[in-house]
Structure 1
Amino acid sequence: MKRKEKTPYVRLTEPLVRDSGVLRPATWDEALDRAAEGFRKTLDNPETFGMFSCARATNEMNYVAQKFTRSVIGTNNVDSCNRTCHAPSVAGLAKVFDSGGGTSSYQEIEDADVIVLWGSNAREAHPIFFQHVLKAVHKGAKLFVVDPRQTSTAKWGHRWLRLNVGTDIPLAHAIAREIIHAGLTNTGFIERATEGYAEFAASVEPWTLEAAEQETGVPAELIRELAHAYARADRGQLSWTLGITEHHNGTDNVLSLINLSLLAGQVGRYGAGLNPLRGQNNVQGGGDMGAIPDRLPGFQNILDAGVRAKFDAAWGSHIPPHKGLNLTQMLDAMERGALTCVYIIGENPVQSEADCEHTIKRLSNIDHLVVQDIFLTKTAQLADVVLPASAAWCESDGTFTNSERRVQRVRKALEPPEGARDDIQLLCELARRLGHDWHYDSGEQVWDELRTLSPMHAGMSYRRLEELGGIQWPCYHEDRLEPTFLHGRLWEEDPVKRGRPAPFSVIEHSPPVDLLSEEFPIRLTTGRRLDSYNTGVQSGGFSSPLRKGETLDLCEQDAVALGVREDEMVQISSRRGAIVAPVRIDEGLRPGLAFMTLHFPDEIDVNVITIEATCPVAGTAEYKAAAIRVDKLPV
């Protein structure tokens, strides 16, 4: 078993290699040779290799990372933190529309009549996006917030629908049934642009307003009001985040929301759209660049022989004709001994994965782990080789893609610390050691290669991105722009131009896997807070005037019943483990519901107690629904 070193989060400035169980400083040549030698052992059996790419790094880095995985190693086993958060969004949107991106621009949010934020505390988790929402509200738009907690976002809403955790599908079905029974469906759109309506309508029939109220806890009148407002809106926007996706049935949750947009015709035209809000600066871009196991850059299908042939000709490679393993599947393969070599760039799965002790065990026992990062994270502390990168956003030159699919230029503002090296150059160094003569002199050179292979990026030169302040994909031509919204084809009268119809999905309700019981009677849901960032690597090492660390948030009624006070330390246990944290009273919680984040894992590692149950389609874990017990600590 490898030993982890307890190290503060300071910038890495020299490579590290592991000898006799301990990480020690090394020269760059030694570290790169050691990394490459471990990778070389996988070349005879490439499926033993896996790559975790970085959702905070540039598009250019992610493109080169997935290219390294596919053309140097010869496997499609590449993924990123998209798996942890929005893989169900990509899977659901791609199934219905053949594209995994949000459908609208931020300007369209401002011009909407009705906005539904479902499972999204956007004011804290997506504050820039929320400013566009507030502009719409100030212009008269109605904001409906669907969330188990009365978050700071919910306090801005026209209505707050407080549903029970894990009952999103019954609520969506009841809204759909009400739209149908009230005669508010967009019949022309449904007949022209969709398929499977009759089967879908029959499937939601049992979910009357009364049945949904009993299951979800949302009053029937609120369900009716939301259904009528959304269906009657000229421009209706439906946005969601991890409250929808981080469930064992996350993809089904997404599909249930898409069903609503198809019923009301709220997609494919200006101001009407479906928008998953991305949590990190380049989650969208990582997927766009092909850092996912089933798509090549530009969301081109890995199973399409013609697509693979195009990339093989450009790269001089032979891309395997099958989907790779996603992050969750790679972790499972490590446990079976089928995946023995892993290259992680800028991700920290030891702290971000559910049931994290299980993840530590898996990563500790593989043959070769290389971590490329700017800090010695807990994941890096398990590595055989650590490569210090210059990956901070202000040290990079390239592009990012935000939640509205807008590709924007980023420029180096600061030089990296002495001793750190550029991510792309490190990938090139490793490729050369494995027999591939790779040389990229700039991010623009990488981007121009991408543009020759990804039609949806073809019209986005660096010059044009700078002149226009960013461009939304798709952009097929350098002399014009496409509409700001996707799927306008669905409104075409000509069936040839309209293309494949958008299918309705028949979805069954499936409650949370981690059942409440006498031993574990409280439902824990997790999320983000405004003043901290993800696993705390980039914000946890600094004092905050707003919050000093993690807390277990409870309503006052539960605190009184447990006999605990604000700031009192308690033990929180689940079926997987236990942690200790101070109590914080939150008036936005109902009895039986608790809340925590994963921002302070060095002190309180919440993912010790979250459940690893995953969506079978997307591989995303059910972070939002753990069953816990809270106990007073002995005096």
Structure 2
Amino acid sequence: MTNSVAEIKEADTIFVTGSNTTESHPVIGAQIKQAVRHKGAKLIVADPREIELAKDADVFLKIKPGTTIALSNAMVNVILQEGLENKKYIEENTEGFEALKEVVAKYTPEKVAEICGVDAEDIRKAARLYAEANKGSILYCMGVTQHHNGTENVISLSNLALVTGNLGREGTGVNPLRGQNNVQGACDMGALPNVMTGYQPVNNPAVLEKFEAAWEVKLSDKPGLTIPEIMHGAEAGDVKMLYIFGENPMVSDPNTKHVKKALEKAFVVVQDIFLTETAELADVVLPAAVFAEKDGTFVNTERRVQRVRKAVEPVGEAKPDWVIFMELMNKLGYDKKYNNVEEVFQEIRTVTPQYAGITYERIEEVGIQWPCPTEDHPGTKFLHGGKPARGAGLLKPVEFVESNELNSEEYPLVLTTGRILYQYHTRTMTGKTEGINNIAPEAYVEINSKLAAAKSIEDGETIKVASRRGEITIKAKVTDIVDENVLFIPFHWGEGANVLTNDEDLDKYCKIPGLKVTGVKVEKLA
């Protein structure tokens, strides 16, 4: 997040898009409700489903899945047409304004209303609410990013923030809500194919020289593969081995059949806390300690580095992840020993500028938000204060391009996926909890009442849903939360949503798959 969770309650207008916040991030969802109900904040919600927050919204835009860019461009169009832009901020802090202005001129509210399936006046109202706010905050999640054009979706939201000057101040910002508890920390630590820790590019000679000196080894300057590229490579026989750590791609990744083929072809090591669906296919399983069995740090969605402390000893042969990694690298010939996890963190500080001023002593009681460059620095509550970090915020025009999954005669419906409150990710932990499973025992597909009637489908009936990649049988939940041509399936269950989803239509920048838009058809079972 560019800003902090507590700042949500300081915003005048909150724009939530691609995030079922009350179910996926319930603490932040509660903050949004408090801002609206107790502090008078205005709320705009854009989502393909009538999520809980829609009830509190001043404007609810029930957009077709995958139309974020069109909506953002239309809102900028209205802002510029009505003179609501922050001219001073644009002049002093941005570049590329004229190019953006030229592109968004085409995205009139009337034209975009047809693309998104919403009312043109609601687009205007949303644009005015956001632009006229002294503090406007954008919150988004994987409903924005998991598309063939996910990177450009985010760029379009950045454009919206920059033309209104809603960046670099308390209660503003462009705020991605991370999908799991330490996704931010994993990315900070270089768990991405093109960067070292702190987002330092692997192909930067100065960066490579620094890490080679710190680790006393020669390093590659070539970016690695993304997960979809790895899976395709494994299935093709080009990737020979997979080391899967705390991840369950047999449930979470698109096109389950393809994932299974890839795992069966490669030599697979799985390091996890339970024998997951992925671990069942592994050649070697390494039992890892759970969060309460180890010391270390987690980094949350607002960039806050926090300590986690061991409460109990690991069970059986399980070991903390850092111990497993150290012992393995020692066996592979890299003879580096750490006595405890704090020594690992001290090394992180030396090679990661954003973490340089963070110590275990300083986060003994309260975590610190990076960047924190020195030990007397308090941490950073919000980013881009004064000026955008790159000097001038880049206004980059992006065009709406529909997914290849759509407009198929054979698969005329749109499937989108997401989370529900009562299960977590791939159910590795929540699936073993009796009370939770009593509430949310199985997968289901949300289907609009008109579509259900046309197909003679009853609520609770088991039906077939099929895509280009496979088919599943699943219980129907008849509801008007979704539009007539849209289906929704929570992805938590194996042999569920991701049997159907698309692994080919990848974002050209970061290679994320288009999980949120899949062409499907439904059939009543005989």
* CA 1:414–1:516: 2 relative to 1, 3 Å: farther
Matching residue of 1:537: 428
Question: What does residue range 296-375 of structure 1 map to in structure 2 within 5 Å?
Answer: 296-366=196-266, 368-375=267-274
Residues 456-494 of structure 1 deviation map (CA, whole Å, 9 limit, x = unaligned): 111111111114x11110111112314411011417xxx
Contact 2:84–2:128 (CA<8 Å) still a contact in 1?
Answer: yes
Mapped pair 1:508 → 2:391? no
Distance 2:192 2:411 in 1: 36
Letter in 2 for 1:319: L
Cα distance, 1:180 vs. partner?
0.6
Distance 2:164 2:22 in 1: 27
Q: How many residues align?
A: 522
Mapped pair 1:486 → 2:383? yes
Matching residue of 2:278: 379
Secondary structure at the aligned position of 1:465 is classed as coil
Mapped pair 1:159 → 2:159? no
Mapped pair 1:107 → 2:107? no
Secondary structure at the aligned position of 1:160 is classed as strand
Residues 53-73 of structure 1 deviation map (CA, whole Å, 9 limit, x = unaligned): xxxxxxxxxxxxxxxxxxxxx
Matching residue of 1:477: 374
Letter in 1 for 2:383: L
Question: Aligned match of 1:416 in 314, 328, 343?
Answer: 314
Residues 524-578 of structure 1 deviation map (CA, whole Å, 9 limit, x = unaligned): 1110000001112222233323222111111221111111111111111111111
Contact 2:235–2:258 (CA<8 Å) still a contact in 1?
Answer: no
Question: Aligned match of 1:528 in 411, 416, 419?
Answer: 419
* CA 1:438–1:294: 2 relative to 1, 3 Å: same
Question: Aligned match of 2:506 in 602, 607, 614?
Answer: 614
Contact 1:516–1:523 (CA<8 Å) still a contact in 2?
Answer: no
Question: Aligned match of 1:122 in 3, 21, 41?
Answer: 21
Letter in 2 for 1:502: G
Structure 1 gaps, min length 5 = 1-101, 492-497
Distance 1:430 1:499 in 2: 39
Distance 1:627 1:182 in 2: 38
Secondary structure at the aligned position of 1:571 is classed as strand
Question: Aligned match of 1:627 in 503, 519, 526?
Answer: 519
Residues 232-286 of structure 1 deviation map (CA, whole Å, 9 limit, x = unaligned): 1111000101111111110111111101011101111122111000110000110
Distance 1:585 1:266 in 2: 40
Cα distance, 1:306 vs. partner?
1.2
Distance 1:454 1:142 in 2: 39
Residues 158-205 of structure 1 deviation map (CA, whole Å, 9 limit, x = unaligned): 221111111111111110011111111111111111111101110111
Secondary structure at the aligned position of 1:275 is classed as strand
Matching residue of 2:343: 445
Distance 1:430 1:147 in 2: 45
Secondary structure at the aligned position of 2:438 is classed as coil
Letter in 1 for 2:465: I
Task: Tell me which moved more, 279-288 or 153-162.
Answer: 153-162
Distance 1:531 1:516 in 2: 34
Matching residue of 1:575: 468
Secondary structure at the aligned position of 1:595 is classed as strand
Task: Tell me which moved more, 582-591 or 535-544.
Answer: 535-544
Residues 394-437 of structure 1 deviation map (CA, whole Å, 9 limit, x = unaligned): 12211111111111111112222122122111111111111111
TM-score (norm 1): 0.80
Cα distance, 1:629 vs. partner?
1.2
Distance 1:326 1:623 in 2: 15
Distance 1:616 1:541 in 2: 38
Cα distance, 1:305 vs. partner?
1.1
Contact 2:302–2:369 (CA<8 Å) still a contact in 1?
Answer: yes
Secondary structure at the aligned position of 1:351 is classed as helix
Letter in 1 for 2:364: E
Letter in 1 for 2:357: G
Matching residue of 1:552: 445
Distance 1:594 1:605 in 2: 13
Mapped pair 1:393 → 2:285? no
**Identity among equivalent pairs (%):** 41
| 4+ residue runs over 6 A deviation | none
Distance 1:503 1:627 in 2: 34
Secondary structure at the aligned position of 2:198 is classed as coil
Letter in 1 for 2:278: T
Cα distance, 1:338 vs. partner?
2.2
* CA 1:379–1:483: 2 relative to 1, 3 Å: closer
Contact 1:573–1:609 (CA<8 Å) still a contact in 2?
Answer: yes
Cα distance, 1:438 vs. partner?
2.2
Letter in 2 for 1:121: N
Distance 2:390 2:351 in 1: 23
Secondary structure at the aligned position of 2:3 is classed as coil
Contact 1:119–1:243 (CA<8 Å) still a contact in 2?
Answer: yes
Secondary structure at the aligned position of 1:323 is classed as coil
Question: Aligned match of 2:479 in 586, 596, 615?
Answer: 586
Distance 2:496 2:445 in 1: 12
RMSD over aligned CA atoms reads: 1.4
Distance 1:553 1:515 in 2: 19
Letter in 1 for 2:86: N
Cα distance, 1:450 vs. partner?
0.5
Cα distance, 1:447 vs. partner?
0.5
Cα distance, 1:499 vs. partner?
5.5
Letter in 2 for 1:398: G
Secondary structure at the aligned position of 2:76 is classed as helix
Of structures 1 and 2, the one with the larger relative CO (CA 8 A, separation 6+) is 1
Distance 1:139 1:633 in 2: 50
Letter in 1 for 2:385: G
Matching residue of 2:141: 241
Distance 1:165 1:131 in 2: 25
Mapped pair 1:207 → 2:107? yes
Letter in 1 for 2:374: H
Matching residue of 1:293: 193
Distance 1:466 1:153 in 2: 36
Distance 1:430 1:466 in 2: 30
* CA 1:559–1:328: 2 relative to 1, 3 Å: same
Contact 2:251–2:492 (CA<8 Å) still a contact in 1?
Answer: no
Letter in 1 for 2:183: V
Letter in 1 for 2:308: V
Contact 2:49–2:62 (CA<8 Å) still a contact in 1?
Answer: yes
Letter in 2 for 1:506: P
